[in-house]
Amino acid sequence: RLSHLSSLEDALNLLKTSKNIIVLSGAGISTSCGIPDFRSSTGLYAQLQDEGKYELDDPQQMFDIHYFRERPEVFYSFAKQIYPSNFVPSPCHRWIKLLEDKGLLLRNYTQNIDTLESLAGVEKVLQCHGSFKTASCLRCKNRVPGQTIEPFIMSQHIPYCPRCQEEVAQKQQKKDQLKRSKGKGKARWDEDGEEEEEEDIWGGGEPGIMKPDITFFGQALDSEFDECLFKDREEVDLLVIIGTSLKVAPVSEVLTHIPHSVPQIYINLTPVHHVKPDICLLGDADSIVTDLSSRLGWTIPSPAAVPQ
């Protein structure tokens, strides 16, 4: 690895000379907007553990697809809390926009679902863990705009698939029709003289449950993630990682999927121990990117300049 790199000076030089920067971001770039991260002592998982009201064995179950299939009501009693609302992008989001404006951003791989990168005007952003923009039926895969399920999230009810519901209603109608026509003197009787149970030849059953297209544990990431990474690995010349504990694969594996010759700068409040980025700048991410920018003579767009 690039053992000669270690300091702020090296970080500044890399930012000055690189042309195709990948920014890999996580919840730490949105904490200053009032959105908790996941694994800090004040993070969402600690909150879920302390509240105890959801009776989870492990707070990560809240985002586990198997648990969701079993108990969707638990997620829907909570989803309102993480639904993107009136948050304003942080200096970090605006710094990513600055890189893009300078033509230096190859792509921002974000794990966040708060959409604050887009709100800051960043166009080259990949929401690796999906978003609330669309929702899909777990049964028939029907995809609908996220707004369709928004009222259910807000009222803490489970949304069912409109297409499945229609299908189930149609099947029921056919079943009723058949029963009525059979009823006209054609009822079947078993040996004891009891009317025979109608065989459910129409299938039917329950309509599927809608789930926002945010990636849960146990679900694969959208193929766009692999496609982008496959392309970007050829071009990237600097990786800047901001505000993530790098605990969740496959996003954490971006580090190993890009060539080892590409330098890495890690900007985070707390150190990371399971990987060794070339340069670690520890502290508040907003302050660090603001400091880097002022040393480089760059101006982070002001919140007012950010398209709303």
Regarding 119 and contact with ligand OAD (CB under 6 A), the answer is: no
Nearer to ligand OAD, 27 or 98 (CB): 27
List the one residue from 14, 15, 24, 26 that touches ligand OAD (CB under 6 A): 26
List the one residue from 22, 43, 93, 160 that touches ligand OAD (CB under 6 A): 43
Q: Strands of 210-214's sheet, edge to edge?
A: 143-145, 130-137, 210-214
Regarding 31 and contact with ligand OAD (CB under 6 A), the answer is: yes
Regarding 212 and contact with ligand OAD (CB under 6 A), the answer is: no
Nearer to ligand OAD, 108 or 244 (CB): 244
* Interface segment toward ligand OAD; rule CB under 6 A; list 31-39, 165-173, 185-193, 295-303: 31-39
Nearer to ligand OAD, 27 or 149 (CB): 27
- Judge whether 286 and 91 are in contact, CB under 8 Å: yes
Q: Is 137 annotated as a binding residue?
A: yes
Regarding 264 and contact with ligand OAD (CB under 6 A), the answer is: no
Regarding 299 and contact with ligand OAD (CB under 6 A), the answer is: no
* Interface segment toward ligand OAD; rule CB under 6 A; list 23-31, 69-77, 115-123, 231-239: 23-31
Q: Is 92 annotated as a binding residue?
A: no
Nearer to ligand OAD, 164 or 289 (CB): 289
Q: Give the angle 95-238-26 at the CA atoms, nearest 5°.
A: 50
* Interface segment toward ligand OAD; rule CB under 6 A; list 184-192, 227-235, 267-275, 292-300: 267-275
Q: Is 228 annotated as a binding residue?
A: no
Regarding 59 and contact with ligand OAD (CB under 6 A), the answer is: no
Residue 181: is it exposed, middle or buried by C-beta count within 10 angstroms (0-12/13-18/19+)?
A: exposed
Regarding 61 and contact with ligand OAD (CB under 6 A), the answer is: no
Bridge partners (DSSP) of residue 108 are 23, 125
Binding residues for Zn(2+): 137, 140, 161, 164
Binding site for ligand OAD (CB under 6 A): 26-28, 31-32, 37-40, 43, 63, 111, 129, 215, 217, 243-245, 247-248, 268-270, 284-285
